[in-house]
Amino acid sequence: MKRGKIVVLCIVAALVLGRAGSALAVTDTADQSVTVTVSEIAELAVNGGAVSLTIAAPGTPGSLPSAVTDAATSLAWTSNVAGAFTRTITAALDSDMPASVTLKATLTKAGGNGTAAAQQTLSSVAATLFTGITNENVTGNTITYEAAVSAMVAPQTISRTVTWTLTEDS
């Protein structure tokens, strides 16, 4: 009787162990550690290429030629900042415009968190065109250039390079 019980117990144990082994064998796992780091990003680009503004003769003798504008180009940017910092976009010329000739610009907000500044006269000193940029990626922020003369000047062609800069506010 005792021997019979032992045999039964052995069989039960074998079955349980066999099943446990089988259950463990049918599934396996492998772990990988993945780290994603977002660096500080400040990417700015002009879309649209060179701009040409032609100041033509005025319609009325005695008046100055009208200002001309161009809104064919735009800025795109991708930016992120730590904490409460913000970024600004400025524009500067490689050298000042000649006397009596002005070049102004505005930047239209197409999205994001920032604020467009009012029209600014461009010079070799950086002017702020957009403020309050935080974590955003936006395209199609239209640049509107306006060229004008404040007094008549001789016929001429003036070329300047406008440098747009996305930088952290001080």
Partner 1 sequence: MCRGLIVFFTVAVVMVGATAAFAVTGAATQSVTVTIEEVALLGASADPGTFTLSGADTVAGSLPVVSDTSTSLSWTSNAAAGLSRKITARLDSDMPASFVLKATLAKPSGSGGTPAPQRTLSSTAGDMFWDITNESCTGATITFEASLSAMVPPQTVNRTVTWTLSEDQ
| Residues making contact with partner 1 (CB under 8 A) | 21-22, 25-45, 47, 75-83, 135-139
Which of 128, 137 has the CB closer to partner 1?
A: 137
Which of 53, 81 has the CB closer to partner 1?
A: 81
Q: How many residues does the chain have?
A: 170
Q: Determine the straight-line distance between the first and last CA of the chain, rounded to whole angstroms.
A: 92
Which of 39, 161 has the CB closer to partner 1?
A: 39
User: Which residue, among 108, 109, 106, has the nearest Cα to 122 in the 3D structure?
Assistant: 106
Instruction: Find all residues with CB under 8 Å of 80, minimum gap 6, and list them.
Output: 38, 40, 41, 134, 135
In whole angstroms, how close is the CB of 115 to partner 1 at the nearest point? 17
Contact 64, 151 (CB under 8 A): yes
In whole angstroms, how close is the CB of 134 to partner 1 at the nearest point? 8
In whole angstroms, how close is the CB of 62 to partner 1 at the nearest point? 46
